[in-house]
Amino acid sequence: MSAIRSVLWGILRGLDGLRKVLHLLLLLVLLGLVVGVLRVGTPRVPDTAALLVKPEGELVEQLSGDPLQRAISQVQGQGHGETLLWDLIDGIHGAESDSRIKVLVLELDDFDGADGLAPLEELARAIREFRASGKKVIAFGSSFGRDQYYLAAQADEIYLDPLGSVLIDGYGRFPLYLKTVLDKLDVDINVFRVGAFKSAVEQYTRDSMSSEDRAQSLEYLGGLWSTYQRDVIAARHLAPGAIDQYVTTLAQTTAAANGSMAEAALKAGLVTGLKSKQQVEQRLVDLVGEDDSTGSFRSVSSDDYARIVHAQGAPGRGDRTRIGVIVASGEILDGDQPPGTIGGDSLARLIRQARLDDRIKAVVLRIDSPGGSVTASDEIYQEIRQLEAAGKPVVVSMSSLAASGGYYISAPADEIWASPATITGSIGIFAVIPTINRTLAKIGVNVDGVGTTPLSGQLQVERPLNDEARALLQDTVDFGYSQFVAHVAQGRHKTLDEVNAIGQGHVWSGIDAQRNGLVDHLGYLDDAVKAAARLAKLTRYRVVFVQPQLTWAQELALEINSMGARVLYEADPGARSAAAVAHPFDPLRQEIERLSRFTLPNRLYAYCFCTVK
């Protein structure tokens, strides 16, 4: 018996020893990964170099989706990618005073543009400030579209490939209208709304744009186009009207240049010269020297340089006074939502976090949102009121879009700042209830039964709405609108009649919104931060972005996944092209998804269908 015990004891000791060895091996592997990541994550800046700003995909206020899922998607070659606006700006500002950085290079071939003009204005301002430090900015592209050229115009030298083009197409809004297809499917769209200009539901109830929507769309699109032209003309020192003339006569000037759009752009003064990529690289080699490992010019990417800047500016352990910036980007939805959308619970939690942080003395809410759920918007609104009640000033900085629910959550702010190109307002409420009883009847499916009250079963999509349900829903929408108007009146110090006159779902440009009192000032995020400091009576402060914190394990996994994504992308650059095959069908898919989000029977929505292309 003692022999058996000895054997068992020996086995247990052996297993315990094996456990310790495995734990040690696991720790060594983790240590190796951490060391590897840190080694990769510490970029080196040459003694003389160019800062290479090469945005990929869309320029965004906030990277969308779960961070780990983003890395996995990159590995799988999905999506078109995103570039975070604030990383680019931080890198450019950091390079202004860095004696090693001699020139900023804008390479824009992989840039898909931005959703609106405001983010481009923020980035263009940073580029201009870099130039003001006495350093050169050089832009290159095989072709320039509208948004690419807006950034390129900020450079000292703009080089275009001889086979390329500058195609500036202005701004437009061309929604998909689904009434006919819904009629063919016998789907009834029951709409309840307030506001003569509340066009949010017209895509489901009409086959064409209403005269009201057409008028207001031309108004704010014209404001966008005027701002674009003004900024480009000032940057390139062109004659007034030069951009509009270039666009409207492009077919003729291209024909006169024997079909060369590049020559037409050169003659119009939009570019400095026509050079191939290799010729531009040689120009940069002459300025900063050659990188022996690549044969190209010495450079550091803006991504790597932003990491250096962030590491140098990381907050210390002391209680230093701060202004918190909270980014609210995307549709407003109920509950917890990932970055790139606004969750009522998740954004309220961030605002509460800023309220409870004694180091944060004021908050800037950066909004880029068409709105969404009224319930979620009100949850955020109430949390902002709590923040102000705690004695912390709140300043709103509007990006391209802060309309409907996006304006709802702006209303209580102490000050509202917007870009001239911001689209805002759209103070209105709607509800959409689709019913498919006729659709089912076409295939022989009928619904019948009994209920104990007139409302029994009224919110089932397979049954038509009766008069009681319709009246109840319209009354609810009317009440929601009255609450919206009351919130705006209180926050903007206006009467209910004054707000109603500029409400009714009307969409305004930033310039017009300032004129009618929906916006206090026109300016950039930096201006809003300075306003918050003024309201909080601060002279020294640190600006911090308030956001959910990743655990160290998530950070590590994200970095490893990102490294893998870069490797796989270089091995198979066609993966992104394959994923883009379905891109032309995105607008229809997005409309269907949006309709499904906005048809919950017990929800009201404040949403502006006013994005531009």
Residue 526 in tokens: 């930096």
Cα 4–6–12 angle (5° rounding)?
105
Q: Which residue in the list 165, 377, 404, 419 is annotated as catalytic?
A: 404
Percent of the chain with pLDDT over 70: 79
Secondary structure (H, E, C), 349-364: HHHHHHHHCCCEEEEE
- Examine the residue annotation and report whether 198 is marked as an active-site residue of this protein: yes
Please indicate whether the domains covering 49-68+81-172+218-309 and 316-445+452-552+595-607 agree at the CATH topology level.
yes
Residue 229 above 70 pLDDT? yes
Note the helical H segments in 78-210.
85-96, 118-132, 146-152, 179-184, 202-205
User: Which residues lie across from 342 on neighbouring strands?
Assistant: 332
Choose among 597, 442, 451, 583: nearest CA to 78: 583
Residue with tokens 């009250």: 453
Question: In this predicted model, what pLDDT tens digit does every residue of 500-546 receive, in sequence order?
Answer: 999 988 999 999 999 999 999 999 999 999 999 999 999 999 999 99
Assign 202 a pLDDT band (cuts: 50, 70, 90).
Answer: confident
CATH of domain 49-68+81-172+218-309: 3.90.226.10
584-596 tens-digit pLDDT: 555 555 666 666 6
pLDDT at position 35 is 45
Residue 382 has pLDDT above 70, yes or no: yes
* Domain ranges within the chain, ordered by starting residue: 49-68+81-172+218-309, 316-445+452-552+595-607
- At the topology level, CATH places domain 316-445+452-552+595-607 in 2-enoyl-CoA Hydratase; Chain A, domain 1 (3.90.226)
**Residue partners of 171: CB distance under 8 A and separation at least 6:** 221, 224, 225, 228, 612, 613
For 53, list phi and psi in degrees, rounded to 5.
-100, 105
User: β-strands 273-274, 157-160: how paired?
Assistant: parallel
**Tally of CA atoms within 13 A in the half-sphere of 389 that contains its CB:** 8
Going by the DSSP 8-state scheme, the letter that residue 268 receives in this structure is T
User: What pLDDT score does 45 carry?
Assistant: 84
Q: Transcribe 245-267 into DSSP letters.
A: HHHHTHHHHHHHTTT-HHHHHHH
Q: Provide the β-strand partners of residue 114.
A: 59
Nearest of 104, 101, 231, 91 to residue 157 by alpha carbon: 104
Percent of the chain whose pLDDT exceeds 90: 58
Active site residue 133: no
Give mean pLDDT, residues 121-138.
Answer: 96
Phi, psi of 14 (to 5 degrees): -65, -40
Phi then psi for residue 321, to 5 deg, are: -60, 135
User: Which of 332-341, 397-406, 592-601 reaches the highest mean pLDDT?
Assistant: 397-406
pLDDT confidence band for 601 (50 / 70 / 90): low
DSSP state of 103: E
pLDDT, one tens digit per residue, over 423-466 is: 999 999 888 888 888 888 888 988 888 888 888 888 788 888 88
Q: Centre a 10 Å sphere on the Cβ of residue 403 and count the other Cβ atoms it contains.
A: 33
Which residues on neighbouring strands pair with residue 105, listed in sequence order? Answer: 52, 138
**What's the per-residue H, E or C state across 1-48?**
CHHHHHHHHHHHHHHHHHHHHHHHHHHHHHHHHHHHHHHHCCCCCCCC
Q: Which residue has the higher pLDDT, 587 or 124?
A: 124
pLDDT at 122: 97
Measured on CA atoms in the order 280, 282, 288, 291, is the torsion positive or negative?
positive
Report the range of poorest mean pLDDT among 28-32, 59-63, 317-321, 601-605: 28-32
From CA 13, how far away is CA 20, in angstroms rounded?
11
Active-site entry in 198, 275, 392, 494: 198
Summarize pLDDT for 542-562 with one digit per residue, the tens: 999 998 765 555 455 555 544
Q: What is the pLDDT of residues 309-345, one digit of tens each?
A: 877 765 444 458 999 999 999 999 999 998 889 999 9
User: Does 63 score more than 80 pLDDT?
Assistant: yes
